[in-house]
Structure 1
């Protein structure tokens, strides 16, 4: 029996809300994005550009339909009402006071549609002294104690490899909350309110540190300090290899493979958790000898040997190497679409819902990201707003008033 797609209207901008929408599109939802008539959701011009359009727009808006309407237009209230009636879910990224002013608050929209799932995404949550501070980029991560900095040419800067955690993770949690809320609604619960914030998501990312700090007054141990058997070593071709033979049977195999002293097989206590990381008095000597052995072979040889021996390990790859791997292609990590005659690849959602194992590994092509307002007439007709009198309020070339 055909399954009706989940209908989502996304009023949000930038990363978190659009990322939630994109995840749900890839799980079968239908998304209409209501955008500012001049700059859209802010992602079209966000660097870097791919074939003249921002990477964020390709990655987060492929498969959506775009409607433009100025929030100062006389048509804004009735279009918002029509959107709420059509939707199963609305996503709003405004501060609560702004949402009320724009008629996008929970009370207003659920009055129109008592079965609506309403998802609000905020910067810092709905309580506390930080709740009304605007949030962009790394702001929420910095408030969550995540942003690593160092000195460069006399100035303080974030380390080059750091990318924001709270904004994308808030989108993931928003999508998760939406799906839970839809199930509750479908079981008769009525309208549901879902909230996710950038800061709370950034805090949750550190769940190991939070639990350890709150209970023991110290952070979770650093990976580099776990022990000799969960550690990185340098290979003959100066690549980095991470080994993890921490269960007894893995450690026995690794001792044989690396030519370690036979008596080392009995060193350790596996009775508590079934794992031993090599953090006892033997650690320094084990690290020294293991490094000597690892240095005897290049990375490719270790990959082959450890794979054959079924010992947990990983080469420390760059993102480019991981993306170019046969494994990434086999698992459909990227999905390809067309944009103005060009192939464009965007990341696939790392979850599949299919009829049986092995299906859907190669993802279907998504429609390209839309032009600004490309689907306005089509969508408004679906919503019963076929002939809005204030067309200037819908035209991205019109006026200079603030958009939604």
Structure 2
């Protein structure tokens, strides 16, 4: 596997860090979760549970090992520094300064291992006036101005169900930064500090919003092309209280849609101003509400119109495309039996990722890893 020789020390908890190291583990890295002896990763206790472990923890921490170390004790710190000697990557998500106060910050670690790649995932980064503030996904979206643009024109901002800042603004930029640093290290032999701010990451997502604002244009909730202001990029309710989504912002797709609803007179109105779009949305809403979702899917089945059903989780799980891409996998674990897991989104033709082991029990590999340290010595 592409990362089979890479050792990662993962001090993160909850979602952003574990998602990042999950991607590394799925492609062969030895990811060692360094957990507090008492509590460990808080996600272990989240309901619902499977085999006394939270299912979210099970999902995010497959293919990993767990070691319990008290990093506030001299013994725990000593063992951690020994592990750093043979590690390639350290990932942590504490507030800035915590690792330094423990005596195991980047400056200390790089004296022990100059090739170490140290990635810190925080809400606001290592610099700036907010660096010590607490936060969660909703807070980073709020500061970035993105949450203010989510939702309908006359309603309040809508909280996204998936964690945009945690994963899109934190985990994936961290993964990218780590792999870039690994690539660079192959030439220089030196590691480096990877500073990931989830607020930075969210701001970087706004390439279809901020350039308009920079150009002097008002950007408002529910009024933009891609946030509900246009009839061609919209969600409509059907007769059976289901929904379909329409994403035909190009002329050819809009034309197919208008033909499907038998309103060819709408075709020239694709890019009309907001007041026309509002009337279109209302009229199209009435038309779509006249038939069931199944009826509309039959009508649009042979048209290139970017019309899709708004599926439930059960429907998405059984969707033939999701199945074909193996994004929901059933794996067998000796202790758990058959278990469903989210698949691997990065497809490599020669060295694909794979689900090998279940998430580790708290401290499951402590003795094994410590024996490995002693044998090296």
Shorter-chain TM-score tier: 0.7 to 0.9
For the pair shown, the structure with the greater C-alpha radius of gyration is: 1
Residues 1:117 and 1:293: Cα distance change in structure 2 (over 3 Å) = same
Q: Alpha carbon RMSD of aligned pairs, Å?
A: 3.2
For the pair 1:375 / 2:377, whether they are aligned, the reply is no
What is the TM-score normalised by the length of structure 1?
Answer: 0.79
Segments of structure 1 that go 5 or more residues without pairing to the other structure are: 149-156, 269-275, 388-404
Q: Secondary structure at the match of 1:13?
A: coil
Q: Which residue is 2:202 aligned to?
A: 202
Alignment of 1:285-304 (within 5 A): 286-287=280-281, 290-291=284-285, 293-304=287-298
Q: Which residue is 1:95 aligned to?
A: 95
**Conservation of the 8 A alpha-carbon contact between 1:147 and 1:162:** no
For the pair 1:327 / 2:321, whether they are aligned, the reply is yes
Q: Distance in 1 between matches of 2:254 and 2:209?
A: 28
Q: Which residue is 1:393 aligned to?
A: none
Q: Which residue is 2:230 aligned to?
A: 227
Larger mean Cα displacement after TM superposition, 161-170 or 58-67? 161-170
For the pair 1:353 / 2:343, whether they are aligned, the reply is no
**Conservation of the 8 A alpha-carbon contact between 2:66 and 2:361:** yes
Q: Which residue is 1:308 aligned to?
A: 302
1:67-91 superposed Cα distances (whole Å, 9 cap, x missing partner): 1111233322331222111111111
**Conservation of the 8 A alpha-carbon contact between 1:260 and 1:290:** no
Structure with bigger RCO (C-alpha 8 Å, 6+ apart): 1
Larger mean Cα displacement after TM superposition, 59-68 or 118-127? 118-127
Deviation of the 1:347 alpha carbon: 2.0
For the pair 1:167 / 2:161, whether they are aligned, the reply is no
1:204-258 superposed Cα distances (whole Å, 9 cap, x missing partner): 3444333433442632644465333333333343322222344333344344433
**Conservation of the 8 A alpha-carbon contact between 2:4 and 2:30:** no
What is the TM-score normalised by the length of structure 2?
Answer: 0.84
Q: Secondary structure at the match of 1:238?
A: coil
**Conservation of the 8 A alpha-carbon contact between 2:62 and 2:355:** no
Q: Distance in 2 between matches of 1:336 and 1:198?
A: 32
1:32-86 superposed Cα distances (whole Å, 9 cap, x missing partner): 1111001112221123333421123112111111111112333223312221111
Q: Distance in 2 between matches of 1:378 and 1:133?
A: 38
Alignment of 1:76-155 (within 5 A): 76-136=76-136, 138-146=138-146
Deviation of the 1:188 alpha carbon: 1.9
**Conservation of the 8 A alpha-carbon contact between 2:3 and 2:28:** no
1:159-189 superposed Cα distances (whole Å, 9 cap, x missing partner): 6764543223311211111111111111225
